[in-house]
Structure 1
Amino acid sequence: MDQADIPALLSRLASDEDAARKMAVFKLQSSINDPSFADVFISSGGLVILRRLIMVAGGNTLAYSLQSLTRLLEVDMGWDIFEGPSSGDLVERVVELIVTNPLVNILRGAMSILVALVGRSQSSSGGGGGGGGGGGDWTNNGFSPQTPSAIRTPGTFGFRALKPAVAVYPQFFELVIQQLQSADHALCANALMLINALIRDAVSSDSSSGSGSGAVQTKSPGAGAGEEWSKFIKRLQDLGLIRAVYNLLQSSALQDLAHPLLEFQSLTKVLLRKWREVRVDLERPEHRRALKGLHLASAPDRRHANGVTGANAAAATTEDGDVARKGSRRHNPEKWRRLGFETESPAIEFETAGFLGMMDLTDYVRKNEDGFQKLLLEQSTRPLNERCPVARASLAVTMILCDHFEVDKTEMEDIRGYQALNDAKSHDKLFRPLLLQWSRLHTAGLHAFFRLWKSTGAQRDDFDKVAELVRVLIEQVVGQASRMKDVLEVEDDLQEHDAARLRELQMELLELSFEDQWGPHLFQVRDELKHEALQFVKEQRIRCLLQGSWFTKPMPHTRQESYTKRRLYQPWRYAKLSHNRRYLHYADFPEKLPYEPGLDALTEKVDLGTISSVVSNVSTNPEAEPADSESAADQSPNSSTPTLRHNGAAITKPTTKITIYSFSDDMATNGSTTTPISPDTTTTITPTPVGGSSSSNHGGAGGEAKEQPVLTLYPLNHSLASEWLDGLLMLLSQAPITAETNKLVTLIGEYGLKIRLLNVRLEQMYAGPAGRGSGVGVVPGREGLDEDYYYEI
């Protein structure tokens, strides 16, 4: 619309005909957000007419008028409409519309105006925020800002502008919070923005600065104005604000409400941070009452609490009032330490967690008083060093939650997350509904702390270790929880993780931290340790061959031509590697001897230098690896393993075999090596001959290489098969192939890595490896070195 048309527009806006006013204000709302147009409109007296329309009009005319004023305020113009003696009537009219009018388009415009009105206090003041309420439900405690804002005109903007109107319509806040459940997403967003503006004004308002404290039991952190804001925050909680926003964070309407939800989430962190900054001071009556409530909730022994025990108890009940009064002035020397504090000055121990830590502790005690008393009674029966310090554990869980939710993160860093709102995959990272369940998470985390303390048999010196396990638990359960996961499921998960699993996760996280800082160095160490582990296992496997083992032999076929073989059948075979590791000696026996035969009793031998290949059906798949047994011969009669009988004795039929091949002396070996594979063969290995022998020594040139089996071994169980197969391969300079041996190599390498990690200090882990020019790790020379020296650990 042209600026020249403004007089005619104003004339139609002031018309007595509703149709003319409706059309004029409809056109006005589409043009008034132009600053040049708005400037002429205001200078022409348009604000007076617009105010009159808001006060008397209804229906769409009223909706268009509210929208026009909203767009005018968005370009930071038209604030004069809230100045003067009649400004209070306008604000009351807007509040009245929210309370009494059911039309969505009118409600949206009215709330937008109040958002701008309340938010004007922060934009015009330039002041910082003060104290706030703590926690997602702010731990159900009062609110009191700490830092006064810059000087501004009182009673014009912020919550002060709403107070007279809210006094007339006390149901205002209830109806605003009810709009958070509206099906109209724009109305829901405006309602949440209004609540955010009110909370932010409370943080930065100077009207409630000065006390900066809060009483957990009475919800009244200070006197005067501070108590007024405390009641305001508590009233919002009682009206279901936290539950309503929590549901919005888990709803499908997240995209339409993203900005106000993120702002509410950021404000929650501000409130938490400000409460943590409040120092616990016993000079404040509300702080003393909170600590006294903790003491009384612990159900102290009255006689012991009054310093009257044993024979003094009878004296305290006599008519001698002086004796009783003297006894009442004596205190239990462990009054606070029995609750889990380190000293008898509990206020000092809240220095890190601040008043937020006190609120969390008192909230837990208030909601779990019976369990708290039973826990203290159970701990009192244990030695002092084994008791779980309840108060310290509560403060530790508070700080763990602060770190997890990044309470110290500035609002500007949170605002940067707005850039990722278009990516649906980032919603689980940006939106944290569980932040609004602070009190329940603290209670569940504290219960997990008690459970881990008991299951690990921890002592006082192990407190930090248990706290680290709880930190890992919070990161694993709360950190990995999806946006849609209910808090009840999270509470159950926090109670299900055992200490062993958490310890594994802790070590995995530690390794990841090391990899971030020590990447190439860590990979190099892993390679070195893997090589050392492989050499260690190789020596172990070869020593198994040097020690020797018993094997079985299958029964020959029952055909007539094999009668002689069956008559000479000897079911036991013993094999052993020679001391010089060049020959494999073996012999067959009719029965298993009670002793290990020596090399002189083993009449047959195989030169390892002539071996061309080793074939085995031993599985290399760890999933198919059978359970180890002490001996296949010890299996029960009901075993599925086939058994044979020889001379009345039961002999277990082996299921695995190892066949050693060698080139025949009359075959050529210049061609490629081929290995016959039986139907049950799963692995074929062709090692390089050792001892300087070559396959070309076994035949002439010009023919194809052929092999023949020279020795077949039938291990009694899978472990023995793994030892001999991999032992032969590693003896022939080949890599092991069985799952059991590879698992052993990995296990030894991982343990070696963990042992080396234990030698690295905590600060080195985050600092990374030192540069070559730093002088760290340089070994000094011995020249000129006397006994007067030291080194730093």
Structure 2
Amino acid sequence: MSASLHSHSPLPSANGYGSKSVALVPTNNVTTKDGVTVRARIDPTLTVEDVVKQLCLNLKIKDPPVMFALRDEMDDLVTNDNLRKKIKTKLNLKYAHQLDLLEAAEIVEKLSIRDDKTLKLALFSLQKFIREEQFANEFLNRDGLRELVDVIYASHGNTLAYALTAMQNLMDLDYGWSSLDDAFIFKIVQILSSSSSLINVCRPATAILKKLVEADPVSAPGPIVASSSRRPPVVPPGSVYRYGFYVVFEQMRKEKGLLETVVSSMMLINSLLSHVNNTRWDEFIAELDRLNVRKAVIRLMSSHIFEDLTSCILDFQANIIRVTYRKKTTLVEPDVETSHATMLKQIWTTSKLTETLDENGENLKWRKLGFDTENLTREFGDVGVLGLDCLRNFVQNDPDSFAQVVLEQISRPEERRCPIAKASNEIVELLSEHWAIFAPGFHTLALNFSLRMWNESGAAKDDFPRVIALARSQVKVALRRENVRPWHEVEQDFLECEYRAVRDRQMKELEQEDDLLSKIPVRNLRAKLYKESYEFVRQQRIQCLLQGAWFVNAIPISSPVLRDTVRRPTRPWRFLRLDNGLKYLHYVDSAVKFPVRNGLEDLPERIDISLVNEIATGTCAPPPNVLRDHSDLPPTSPLVPSELSFSLLSAHDGSLADQIAPDQSRWADWTDGLNMLRRDSGHVTSQETAGFVQALTEIGLKIKLLDLSGEKVEIPSGLVAGAPPTNTEFFFSELM
């Protein structure tokens, strides 16, 4: 490294470069603690520690280098991870004292002063400096956490917002805040409940509760000692992983109306859904159902800020799938669960039927509503609590209509009655197959449609499968492109279609589709092959990322830069490659494309994949005269987004990269490949990738079916379990 004063008086070279090499190193302005600005050429391959030492040597500073640090003009600490970037962008740097001893002690002292102006200035600095580990350690050692908690208890307005943000940033550390108690958690709950209009207060308060929910003992890193199989794991003393859903929810329950306040906070709701434990599962999910959290999400999706919440919406959908699956696989046990008994009582009371005895002297109750037996655990066996929820919602949607339908069916001869409850369960199964996320409103429409088809077709007991097949056909038609169709059009398809039209269409469908494909074992096989095909394509896409590719560095459409000021960049090309650990995208920017060697030696820069919250497409335009298709644009033409562009967006730092792919195939490889790296496996963006998955699925299915049909194997529509063994003298065969 070499440096010279701003007056251009030279200082000795300290990096060993000759004059030709020095000219290639960027020059940065460095301001010393005395306010003197020098121009320094800093070798980007050095560590920050070495840079500080050489500055001390060149500037003849007598104090030991360990007392100093480098900061940028925003007072952010320069580290080994960001040194190269700050040097290359020629940011102004500061040569300042380390913060750990001096500033930490001063800020802790100012927190105890209840002067609002002094407190605000101290908190404003604290929320930034607390991110630095050395400063944080000194702050904690000086009992700063207790002082900060006291400030949160006593503050309001912007002062409270600064204090909460400082606490949120401190909790990014995985140590130091294990002393936060129930009283503090309840205080945060109260702040969130009473300050719903103050976004700068609600945002950090929500983030603090989210951190506490996620600080569950089971999430603690490293080995955990379990006290027993029925108790939660025991974490070491002082660990911050001692909170979790139960601890936070216990305090939330004390503040009435809190969930109504936070129901629009997708971040906290997702965290609660991900960490809810078995003890409070039913209570919490019932509360979310009562608040109709799904409608709140729909409102968010229709608002102008939806694009900023895309990742949260996808996480919420994944959580709802998990909740729905759990309901579907949870047995209905009216003799054990009070909530199940209550819902069944509501259904029975609304039906206005009376319990009687059959010809064998046995109770005749639920069979009047269409079940085959009085054993409700068995009757709801395939659809679980989800089926019970849907039937209860159907009843509550229009109690008088439900009672009238029941009366109409019960007045008919037994063979002509529509089994209402059994039909409800079949609709649950049908919609569960159609959607990953289940909507009770559609269940009501489809069940009413089934009842109408039963009446219009004059169906009898043996016709039940035929009526359900009609419902299946109508669901496919009514829910086509349901994500873009208006709700009234979906309702119209269910409410106004005639039986004859539905039946004629179904007959044409059966002519076009082999009956073999509609059998349950074949549908299950298709689902399995789809998962295998998806994983195959996913691995292929990731392999493309591992090989790497050249892209054009693009201009974001949202950029405030005017079109007539845009010039061809000096380094318009970027080569991107994913590392073998699937954690970082390494890259290099260049004026021209060149052969890139295997490995990462030619790729000095990198992007942390975990920081990428969304892969947005069609977001940016090519710089002038880089892509031939855009070379004829006049200088005043507006920026036009490229169909082959994509951006890697983070939650807080905006866009991490803006690229344009050379062709459609490369665009599909990378946008879908990056999406598939998400922990939930992401989603497919391009039709090309979706088409590959579907084609592989259909080819695999046909090959499997050719094997079966060639052997003339009969595929059953369902499997019936035989009678249980009469004794224990049996074994399971190893032959498949």
Greater helix content: 1
Higher CA-based Rg: 1
Question: Given the two structures, how large is their TM-score scaled by the length of structure 1?
Answer: 0.47
Higher relative contact order (CA 8 A, sep 6+): 1
TM-score, structure 2 as length reference: 0.50
